[in-house]
Chains A and B, each alone.
Chain A
């Protein structure tokens, strides 16, 4: 599956202009690529969050496809219902070209409040794609910590004070939790590596059964980087191996991008206001580097077992 940017840009049927996403927001990249690579009609189910709020302000909608927003924690369950309806109506001869159901939620709606709903839908085996646009905190409500927030990051509920210096706990590895469900396709991707992301979305759309793509999607106000540096900050997350790009297809792990000369995690941290307080703390930065290295080694070892 090779993707050609020029071709994609012509096929792309993006979000309509006029949506209210911030300058330097990452998720429109994900949605545009999704539309560009889809070869079937889509129905989108969206969890409450930034994406829903900025694209569906009544009486306007930025969505060029059928779209349903139910609540915060139930995008996967809602998608289950849409998919069940597709099957049932097709069986009764009332639907000729069945669309693919795509659920989209942020890390709040996916890692935290929607985890049960996601797990249930994955276990039941519905034919749908779940995309997590992961910006590593509850950005819509004003930057509160989530279980996707990395250790040390400043959020409004993990502030930097005299006693506590940002988030105490390391982030949860949701991609691994999803992979443990044994579904046909799981991937981790970043908006900076568009061809990799596009290929993963395409594969995820084309498998039969549940698929999941966890996309690192920077948030300008939440991470505090210059808006024009959106792609660069995401790129450094990948180049530092802070956010490895990999997929699990039929249970087999494959790292889809190996940085030739990985940059230190500091290069990722120093672009963002949320880590500013850490930069003078050599020990904290080193601890984060050790965590990044250990994760990477574990992933590579897992991959080696499958090849």
Chain B
């Protein structure tokens, strides 16, 4: 397989992936920092490089509503958004998963108002974590491209919508080298459209989206939970197919390095994986046995592989760019702790909230945290008087 090597930003890479995926319908509304995905894709459509029906919706709510209509008609459907746009879609997110529609959405992670802020953090997608969408967080521009291709394969086989999240600006606007797969390879991997599922256009008078009362509603919701439980299996199969087609290895759920003998393990989501992994390596050089875990797929939550990776670690430090405002720290920390509850020996736990609204995380801060030893509790890194929860 002949690959091309080009320099693209995260948004450009996603738009290129979209072109190669050849969706039947894209319905989207521009919002910073996702705008260039839609802009670049509109150019492909205008130039006749892809024959997708592009619906320039008048809001994110309508964009996702149109995606639901198109996917229920049996089409392959993509969209993109961020922040306030995802919040506006909130109602329809649940409908997309409830109707088991394989919509793929790229989210350029961005802070939520107020105060308004266009820069990166994970508040937006964390607010959608229980909407029944698979959530995958990209580490790099290459990863955003790869995972977008993979997401279509997974969505269409799990019959669930998938969000592929890429950090606002740090990935969306960063130029990185990208290995581009040939169009034919992408077509061979994904085929022409969803391989199965229902369609409003098959002539059968199917009714989609009925009213379900207490005698049946819970069965629908349990079936949705069961579909989500099967996702790790589908993902495993998906990354095998991905390797076969593109020769590229993608960790499906978590990516753990050096945790086997670690006394301290750093757990992170998204593009700060590079900085955090480097900090763990620097600690090793200093003689501190540090490990690194990147959570790749946040929904469904990879509790089993996390338990496996973190078994025997003395100190677990979760570093995350969102808060639950519950007094318990961020959502990743809450869930990692829940996953570790069943370990015979539970590690000490520190939840570090950093980088809200695009604030940078400096290497010195990470090194300082490791040198001093994780303090336990919840820490807001880089904010005065930040320690709010004392360790139990």
Interface set of A (CB-CB < 8 Å, partner B): 41, 43, 45, 52-53, 56-59, 61, 63-71, 73-74, 76-89, 91-92, 94-95, 99, 116-117, 119-121, 123-124
How far, in whole Å, are A116 and B211 apart by their CA atoms in the complex?
A: 25
How far, in whole Å, are A85 and B197 apart by their CA atoms in the complex?
A: 15
CB distance from A8 to the nearest CB of B (A): 20
Given contacts A41-B203, A66-B200, A68-B208, contact A74 B58 (CB under 8 A): no
CB distance from A45 to the nearest CB of B (A): 7
The residue on B at minimum CB distance from A98 is B201
CB distance from A120 to the nearest CB of B (A): 3
- Whether B62 contacts A71 by the Cβ 8 Å rule is no
Residues of A within 8 A of B24 (CB): 84-85, 88-89, 92
CB distance from A241 to the nearest CB of B (A): 35
Residues of A within 8 A of B204 (CB): 66
Residue B52, interface by CB 8 Å = yes
**A64 touches which one: B192, B193, B205 (CB < 8 A)?**
B205
- Whether A89 contacts B62 by the Cβ 8 Å rule is no
Residues of B within 8 A of A85 (CB): 24-25, 53, 69-71, 73-75, 77, 201
- Whether A80 contacts B27 by the Cβ 8 Å rule is yes
The residue on B at minimum CB distance from A63 is B207
The residue on A at minimum CB distance from B24 is A88
Residues of A within 8 A of B73 (CB): 43, 81-82, 85-86, 89
**A69 touches which one: B52, B55, B208 (CB < 8 A)?**
B208
- Whether A66 contacts B66 by the Cβ 8 Å rule is no
Given contacts A56-B210, A68-B209, A123-B58, 12 further A-B contacts (CB under 8 A): A57-B210, A59-B216, A66-B204, A66-B207, A70-B68, A77-B57, A81-B25, A81-B55, A82-B73, A82-B200, A85-B24, A99-B201
Residue B212, interface by CB 8 Å = yes
How far, in whole Å, are A91 and B201 apart by their CA atoms in the complex?
A: 14
CB distance from B145 to the nearest CB of A (A): 23
- Whether A73 contacts B216 by the Cβ 8 Å rule is no
- Whether A70 contacts B92 by the Cβ 8 Å rule is yes
Q: How large is the interface on B (under 10, 10 to 19, 20 to 34, 35 or more residues)?
A: 35 or more
- Whether B213 contacts A58 by the Cβ 8 Å rule is yes
- Whether B65 contacts A74 by the Cβ 8 Å rule is yes
Residues of B within 8 A of A43 (CB): 73, 200-201
CB distance from B309 to the nearest CB of A (A): 40
Most-contacted residue by chain B among A43, A58, A86, A123 (CB, 10 A): A58
- Whether B205 contacts A65 by the Cβ 8 Å rule is yes
- Whether A53 contacts B200 by the Cβ 8 Å rule is no
Residues of A within 8 A of B216 (CB): 58-59
The proximity string for B residues 197-225 relative to A, scoring 1 for CB distances below 8 Å and 0 otherwise, is 00011111111111111001000000000
How far, in whole Å, are A45 and B207 apart by their CA atoms in the complex?
A: 10
- Whether A74 contacts B206 by the Cβ 8 Å rule is no
Residues of A within 8 A of B51 (CB): 88, 91-92
**A58 touches which one: B67, B71, B72, B211 (CB < 8 A)?**
B211
Given contacts A71-B92, A82-B73, A84-B66, contact A120 B201 (CB under 8 A): no
How far, in whole Å, are A83 and B73 apart by their CA atoms in the complex?
A: 9
How far, in whole Å, are A80 and B213 apart by their CA atoms in the complex?
A: 29
Residues of A within 8 A of B200 (CB): 43, 66-68, 82
**B69 touches which one: A79, A89, A94, A119 (CB < 8 A)?**
A79
CB distance from B187 to the nearest CB of A (A): 13
- Whether A74 contacts B70 by the Cβ 8 Å rule is no
**A81 touches which one: B70, B210, B211 (CB < 8 A)?**
B70
Residue B84, interface by CB 8 Å = no
Residues of B within 8 A of A65 (CB): 205
How far, in whole Å, are A289 and B275 apart by their CA atoms in the complex?
A: 74
- Whether A70 contacts B62 by the Cβ 8 Å rule is no
Residues of A within 8 A of B212 (CB): 58
The residue on A at minimum CB distance from B66 is A81
Given contacts A57-B210, A58-B213, A117-B65, contact A89 B55 (CB under 8 A): no
How far, in whole Å, are A71 and B193 apart by their CA atoms in the complex?
A: 25
Residue B308, interface by CB 8 Å = no
How far, in whole Å, are A83 and B66 apart by their CA atoms in the complex?
A: 9
Residue B128, interface by CB 8 Å = no
10 CB < 8 A contacts A-B: A53-B211, A56-B210, A66-B207, A70-B68, A74-B62, A81-B27, A81-B65, A81-B67, A82-B70, A120-B57
